[in-house]
Amino acid sequence: MKYRLAIILLVLLSACKVDEELGLTEETRIAIQNENPDDCPNWKSNEMVTITENTTLPSGCRYDRVRFEITRSDVVFDCNNAILNGLGKTKRNTFFLAYKQEEAPLLAAFFIRGSEDDFIENVTIKNCNISYYINGVNVNFGLKESTHHNLKNNINVAALEDHLRTLSPHNIQLENMNITANHKTAIYIQRYITDFKLKDSTIKANDIGIYLESGTKNNLISNTTFSKNGETTYDLASRKRKLRIKKREAIAIDSSAYNTIIGNTFINNAGGAIFLYKNCYENYKDESSLPRIQHSSFNIIENNTFSDERKGVWIASRQSREMENFNCGDPLVIVGEDNDDKYYEDFSRNNQIVSNVFNGVEKSIIVEDDNNIISNNTFTGESRVDLIIGTEIRSTYLNHPVKNTVVENNTFNSTATTSHVRILHGSTGSVFNKNSPAISIEESTEK
């Protein structure tokens, strides 16, 4: 009990430090739109503003508790550095203190909405400062009831998902955004959305930075800085902020494929930078929950910089994670004694981790699935280990160790006292080529 209380205290202090660093410790309840220049639109608190044409706000606009909805194609919304505040005050509640219902954060600053019957494309939002909402930006895709039924019941799913990707919102772009201190996800990309782009932005101190949902493909995240995400979360039912014991990552690639993450900077996110995994069909008995079919495969993570992270890139991050509380619908790999330890197979293959710099990352790259490429990366600074290849549960209970990892042209210059590379749990078929210093399987193997 004392140990658990100590952990909670440390997490609380860490989370409070994040608020301090963001200047969020002093509260004001002055409505910021009252200070707007005369030429700013007269939008009121709790208003949902529907945007139907290209819009550029005047300089200096500020709004409390205003939401925007875009449901039409070929629209550019330029905030012109406007400040959007989802709370109506300048400080989030302390942990475990419920917001009053009328003061709870709004769901999102921007809703970009498409559906099977209403195709939407070519929407750009830029130059916005978004804080204190639940999510910063939601890109939504509404499914018909019959479609939901077919997905839920695994009826012709592969063809159906390919078809849905042709109908989902396309070419949604966010540019020069500053999305900070929202209660949950900075940017939430719903199922089947393709060709989403984020560039030249700052994503800081949210729960998750970007969440790429099941079935999404061909999205681009570039030239953006992610820092201090993953420390805290928010419960919608209780309207309370909560501390995360299990920290989250800056970018969650959940059953999402063929994405490119290039030229970004990751600094001190609580759980890590980029996690790739296939959700185990969580809460499968809930009628609203749908299975995840697509794997998190064929992603390219290139020319990024990772600093002061616990984990840099984790491929198949749920392969060895105990998932009993997730109520998974996927086939079990193993169930422990008293039915209290459950593990499910994760899928994340044929990804490329290329030409990145890992500086002072505790565990730079973890590989727990097959056929991934690790090439031309540079590892510097103090770390525990640069590259881990192997997975325990799947190897032990399915006799399926990680295989066919290609490790070539990397520079291992960390000052770690242990091996730069660890090959674990019988992993096989790894290819080491032209690394510096040279790595052999015999030199890097640890039990």
| 267-312 residue pLDDT tens | 999 999 999 999 999 999 999 999 999 999 999 999 999 999 999 9
pLDDT at 25: 56
d(CA 223, CA 14): 27
pLDDT at 229: 98
pLDDT at 300: 98
Interval 121-150: pLDDT, tens: 999 999 999 999 999 999 999 999 999 999
pLDDT band at 35 (very low <50, low <70, confident <90, very high): confident
pLDDT at 90: 77
Query: CATH number, domain at 419?
Result: 2.160.20
Between 381 and 182, the higher pLDDT residue: 182
Average pLDDT over the chain, rounded to whole? 92
What's the whole-model pTM score?
A: 0.94
- The two three-digit tokens of residue 202, written as one number: 């700052």
Number of domains in the chain: 1
Q: Which domain holds residue 281?
A: 2-444
pLDDT band at 447 (very low <50, low <70, confident <90, very high): very low
pLDDT at 384: 82
| Long-range pairs, 73-76, Cβ under 8 A, ≥24 | 73/119, 73/120, 73/121, 73/122, 73/123, 74/121, 74/122, 74/123, 75/51, 75/122, 75/123, 75/124, 76/123, 76/124, 76/125, 76/126
Between 271 and 93, the higher pLDDT residue: 271
